[in-house]
Amino acid sequence: QVRLAESGGGSVQAGGSLRLSCSASGYTAHNYCMAWFRQTPGKEREGVATIDGGGNGLTRHADSVKGRFTISKDIIKDILYLRMDSLKPEDTAMYYCAVVSWERVCPPFHETHEYDFWGQGTQVTVSS
């Protein structure tokens, strides 16, 4: 049974930083695609960043967060991270980690249906 558990969310002022973590259990997550998504009420889930499986771990970041957010992973502990700097009020959302348990290379952001396991989410609130 694959389980993903996010942590690290909270409330910060604009310009602040947070680091989200996603612990994976039940399989070797770092060998496969892992990603962060976010969603606000009434809007579609938005891809934030992806990291390919294996040691190479090619990363991709959405244009809206490029230069401010960084995805990474600890292959020993099997933990996915999202470092978020220079936070803006528009970054306020529920953040989810997700994996494609059968594919190393991550699909494009809009192909959310390819992700077969999701965490419960962690709330990030940025005040101006």
| Residues sharing a CB contact under 8 Å with residue 115, sequence separation 6 or more, in sequence order | 33, 35, 37, 98, 99, 100
pLDDT-derived band of residue 76, with 50, 70 and 90 as boundaries? confident
C-alpha distances in angstroms, 111 versus 32, 33, 91, 95, 108? 16, 13, 21, 17, 6
**105 has a pLDDT exceeding 80:** yes
pLDDT-derived band of residue 27, with 50, 70 and 90 as boundaries? confident
Span 114-122, mean pLDDT? 96
What integer best gives the mean pLDDT of the chain? 95
What pLDDT was estimated at residue 57?
Answer: 86
pLDDT-derived band of residue 113, with 50, 70 and 90 as boundaries? very high
**91 has a pLDDT exceeding 80:** yes
**73 has a pLDDT exceeding 80:** yes
